Structure 1
């Protein structure tokens, strides 16, 4: 195997050299490009990243060029109309064709960018286009990209990771307004997993499971919940806490649920079967499993010793809650490690955009999708965050509900000790500030925070706060302003943006989830547990609607903040410390710990 792998690397290396030489020769044969450039974007490198050295000139970059979406404002109008339960168009989701027509770039932009690429020897068949034509992708050597963008790439280093990036790039003046962004350039975000710790690495013993007290009755909700749910969360616990006992969805109404995973994480099918045997006997009897979709070489080795805890948690609870609804697991290939001393491996694009490319072109994406990955908003360039957010809007317009974990750092780093706080801005001013997370801060997704125990209270790691990139959307104006009005004057002044999009929107249980890894039960927690759990209940709601011939819920937030607000359990206990502060408090109505509630 090692010899075969070496041969493949040699073949790929030879092809890359030929490709680089061809580009170089063609560039020499073309007229010199003396077009005056104008700066498109400049950033301060995020804290912790340092220059390791210059990028090798023949290092290949998969360059993605985002063209302005010509009528996104109209798409946004459509989205809010079809997501407003009081609008006569509620639920009238758009088709893929209709969305593509709204986001397709203007022909002038297409022509200007194609001419610019051609002037550098890039032929039309070298370019890959997104389904709407709003992204152009081409693989090029660093030396050519540096010339095109009038920039200099370096190898950047942080905690054993190496990436090839720049902190500023420019475009010819005649192209400048026809390009929204170019990546990978200034994108240093790593899109990491959002989970806290596995609370027990020892098998949960049957003896411990048998020590149960009498069920607990909550007079506020009128629900009866097993006392064991205060120490271990199971499918039964979630059904009891959220009033879904005895509800069995249909497999025949076109319903679906999906989990998106990254960074080489994959779900083990044998562990899912063990989980079903433990908690969903009907699914075990049916030998139920999920459809696996690999995006850009996403892994599915099924080696039990390599299976991810994140994917185990996501699939076991999301699919356990919704059996027999059609379930899909997306595994998107991650950025391979760049090792400066070993050849010049291709520096792939951020995996998140690869998944978005794929799902936006998918003819029938799952109607409820959960993602437990994200990053600090400030590590993601604002241009990239806003473009990705606009693509979430496209999915919402198609009738897809998107859930994202709100994060596990409270209002920032999750540490109330001011001596160890990491809540420092990346703008070069090194200001102390609460750190919102992305994509939770995007107004077109539903951010899910965390609760614990029963009766429920906000868990201390529940990510919450206010975006510095996105303005507060109108659908949450009243709820969020009521929360801000309750704060004492001057509370956390300068530490957050009171006019920003507020999150989380909702919350769910987020700790002591009983999952199986390599055949053994574990406890695990984080908002990475609450997001797939909430997505499961959204799928159950979709089932109820589809059975009646109604469309799926789609983009949830306008419904949640209006007509459906009364359907939530308001959480009024708890806080989310961080950045040397106690964080925000859970309170009556919306709050920045648990959102509207559970």
Structure 2
């Protein structure tokens, strides 16, 4: 589906650059476009950047009609819409959102007028970016700025500026210019760099189990101690017998070095596969930009992927599950969500510079960059795979770890996927109202020490993006007896379900009533110094499911993992099964599901006990109705299926 985006679009003829080379009078007036009020606390200015340092500027052009996203989504995803389920074609997406010819021509005219040679200016085939090969000195002149060298406590040095300007005449065409005001090692010209591993996984907590757990795999008596496929089926009314449907699809996204192990899956299925999943059952493998699978053992490498795939496959078998394995073995430049989006959307990236080294892994990597056996030296993958109809991702990052303009562009891509009938789910996080590893935000914009009992709430992205479904975590009360579909759930307590309110994204229409009711009856009482309490921003999560002590095969034995990393693929399995039922009835996939979920709270079992503390507070509380701990609550598969089958 999305792979056709690149071929579906042909660029309109460019305006003659020679004609546009003379300066437009209004191009001489420049206005500040982005500015930092403070430098993050961990960075110190050490010197002026040398003018001869090479830099590739990337000018992100504003897409058209993004302000109508809520309108477009409501038309195809709200259950009361006459056009519900009439998903867009890739061509319609391109035609609706691509920057205008005028934006491209006038931006290039400015560059030429500033003396940039035409052979150093290029545009991506998706029309979203203009690339300029230049130097720090020329970039300073173009942007009326000063680039400096900054160093952090780890010895990493980068080149950045604290503000920049663009011509008033074309400011309306531009989202962002990079690298400029970014002070993250992935967001600037890095001079020296420390080695690091991925820091954006929800990193599920785990406990070791006996080599052969002392409970029946089909038993429901121990579900408050360990979670198994049988527990989930009983708790959420998920069918045990599944009939695969041609054309149905479910995808799990993993980022290297996280790697599943087939032997571990075999061990899991031999015990928890209801005696029906054959040895050797594996996901459909689709490697992206290396598709690196590490041979290392242990929960740190295998845990996330084994967990996600064990339950995605166990709950949907014999329906196929696709694994999008993203990235290679280069630890200092790991792949991002954008690299994944590239591979399923040919308009989002190009081989001529659609991605940016400021934020995303850029391929090919040089073999000297890391383990030569796992280094990807090929070209970046753009539009090479079709998107599955449901996609679950157990990775996220702090919302403010990237500039607002960057977050907005990524979020818009999830909106486009929804318009084309793809359901995208993300885990909400495992540190309550704090960010990754329990860090909160200082007044200067830097992060507190891990676990510090102070700081502002630190929301997680993409959970705060209005166009994805954010999945939080629940648990059974300790020492619960045999479970059934009416069993009470509480908010997860062995870790704290990520939840809260965005600092960037406005409140979507589908959530407005739920958030209004929340504040009317359960205002948490914190002021604006603690979190964004304007009541006008996106709240998350949307739903929540069991997220504690999922039995998982690791290194020939078993461990139990806890985290919303478990709840997202579980909910994804339910949506994939519902898609299958709709397809059997001659209907299309459900696509973006949030408007339907919020219109039908009766399909959820409300969770009214528990909190998600952090930053020296109790966080938010699970209460009646939607709340920023467990969302709408825990879904019932049969009720949810009935609602979706009744829609066109």
Q: Shift of residue 243 of structure 1?
A: 0.6
**2:313 alignment counterpart:** 319
2:554 counterpart residue number? 517
Q: Residue 199 of structure 1: SS of its match in structure 2?
A: strand
Segment of structure 1 superposing worse, 524-533 or 288-297: 288-297
Report how far residue 255 of structure 1 moved: 1.2
Provide the C-alpha distance between the structure 2 equivalents of 1:164 and 1:148, rounded to a whole number of angstroms: 16
The equivalent residue for 1:82 is 76
Root-mean-square deviation (Å): 3.5
Question: Match for residue 458 of structure 1?
Answer: 491
| 2:544 matches 1:507 | yes
Structure 1 counterpart of 2:463 = 440
* Deviation, structure 1 residue 444: 0.8
Give the equivalent residue in structure 2 for 1:264: 257
1:129 equivalent in alignment to 2:124: yes
* TM-fit CA distance, 1:242: 0.9
The alignment partner of 2:338 has SS state of: helix
- CA shift digits 1:16-47 (9 cap, x unpaired): xxxxxxxxxxxxxx999995543221223444
Distance 1:277 1:64, change over 3 A: farther
Would you say 1:357 and 2:342 are equivalent positions? yes
Given that 2:441 and 2:458 are in contact with CA atoms closer than 8 Å, whether structure 1 keeps it comes out as: yes
* Distance across 2 between alignment mates of 1:331 and 1:126: 33
Cα deviation, 1:407-426, whole Å, max 9, x if unaligned, reads: 112122599xxxx9834344
- TM-score normalized with structure 2 length: 0.74
1:124 is displaced (CA, Å) by 6.1
Q: Is the 8 A contact 1:64 1:182 kept in 2?
A: yes
What residue in structure 1 maps to residue 172 of structure 2? 177
1:108–1:549 Cα change, 3 Å: same
Secondary structure of the residue aligned to 1:373 is coil
Q: What is the CA deviation profile of residues 217-268 of structure 1, one whole-angstrom value per residue up to 9, with x for unaligned ones?
A: xxxxxxxx71221111122221121111423141x33111112233533333
Q: Which runs of 5+ in 2 are unaligned?
A: 1-20, 187-197, 347-382, 449-453, 478-487, 635-648
Shift of the 555–429 alpha-carbon distance from structure 1 to 2, 3 Å rule, reads closer
Q: Is the 8 A contact 1:253 1:547 kept in 2?
A: no
- Quick one: distance in 2 between partners of 1:104 and 1:169? 25
Whether 1:558 and 2:580 are equivalent positions in the alignment is: no
In the alignment, which of 195, 210, 213 is matched to residue 214 of structure 2? 210
Q: Which segment is superposed worse, 75-84 or 91-100?
A: 75-84
SS at match of 1:228: coil
Unaligned runs of at least 5 residues, structure 1: 1-29, 216-224, 339-347
- Give the CA deviation at 1:55: 6.0
Q: Deviations over 1:39-75 (max 9, x none)?
A: 2212234443445766676766564432111222345
**TM-fit CA distance, 1:287:** 3.0
1:581 equivalent in alignment to 2:596:
no
Aligned positions, number: 540
1:569 aligns with 2:597: no
Alignment check: 8 A CA contact 1:41 1:168 kept: yes
The aligned counterpart of 1:480 is: 515
1:189-221: CA deviations, max 9, x gaps?
678334355332x45332xx22579x9xxxxxx
3-state SS, counterpart of residue 63 of structure 2: coil
Checking the alignment, whether the CA contact within 8 Å between 2:200 and 2:436 is kept in structure 1 is no
Does structure 1 conserve the Cα–Cα contact (< 8 Å) formed by 2:283 and 2:322? yes
CA distance in 2, matches of 1:156, 1:336: 23
Q: Supply the distance in 1 between the matched residues of 2:280 and 2:307 (Cα, whole angstroms).
A: 19
Match of 1:293 in 2: 286
Larger mean Cα displacement after TM superposition, 490-499 or 310-319? 490-499
Three-state SS of the structure 1 residue aligned to 2:473 is strand
- Separation in 2, partners of 1:141, 1:298: 34
Once residues 375 and 414 of structure 1 are traced to their aligned partners in structure 2, the CA distance between those partners, rounded to angstroms, is 7
- Deviation of the 1:162 alpha carbon: 5.9
- SS state at 2:345 partner: helix
Which residue in 1 is equivalent to 2:376?
none
Shift of residue 488 of structure 1?
5.5
CA 1:186/1:298 → structure 2, altered by over 3 Å: closer, same or farther?
farther
The superposition leaves residues 295-337 of structure 1 with CA deviations (integer Å, 9 ceiling, x where unpaired) of 3344234444684422222222223322233322223338956
Equivalent of 1:424 in 434, 437, 442: 442
Please say if 1:471 is aligned against 2:506: yes
- How far residue 480 of structure 1 moved from its aligned partner, in angstroms, is 1.6
Cα separation, partners in 2 of 1:429 and 1:532, compared to 1, 3 Å? closer
Q: CA deviation at 1:534?
A: 1.4
- Deviation of 1:272 after TM superposition, in Å, equals 2.7
- Give the SS at the match of 1:326: coil
